[in-house]
Structure 1
């Protein structure tokens, strides 16, 4: 085999480790937090959808993973994944 051995693969292994710790792992952690946030929605929560619509949760449906929110113009049904975790958390944060 000679001098190639594991030394030839070391840069590739190092690159994969860096890619995993700086890109893949944080994204998986964020996805897990968003899924938990959507599962913990309850009636009365003030939310913001990813498209920017503000409203209050009035109904939750576990069968199709949807929620009905009440806005100033009426009630609208959304998929729970359409609720923005960041914007909803910011909306409900206490004022400083």
Structure 2
């Protein structure tokens, strides 16, 4: 997968090769960079965040989840209008997390 650094360095090399071109070519180059950044960086992040929010809204009691900190647990209850979730991480051990801290469902 392309990283932002690889894309940026490739575009800079292209810009340096285009240095002798007209100013119109230079001004057309900037929107091309912005469009490429949108499709390669911003759009995939939006899709992932949408999937994650959908997963969080569909959580139910008894679902096994993993938090951002790597803690594995089972959903026991929801509190504060589904803003927080209580996870069972062991025998008689429950912890409360914000629902935004849930990374994925197992």
Unmatched segments (≥5 aa) in structure 2 = 1-21
Number of aligned residues: 84
**Higher alpha-carbon Rg:** 2
Secondary structure of 1:41's match? Answer: coil
What is the 5 A alignment of 1:48-87? 48-61=66-79, 63=81, 65-72=83-90, 74-85=93-104
Unmatched segments (≥5 aa) in structure 1 = none
Give the superposed CA RMSD.
1.7
* CA distance, structure 1, for counterparts of residue 29 and residue 100 of structure 2: 38
Structure with more relative contact order (C-alpha pairs < 8 Å, separation 6 or more): 1
Provide TM-score, normalisation by structure 2.
0.71
Name 2:45's counterpart in structure 1.
Answer: 27
Shift of residue 61 of structure 1? 2.5
Bigger shift: residues 39-48 or 57-66: 57-66
Runs of 4+ in 1 over 3 A off after TM superposition: none
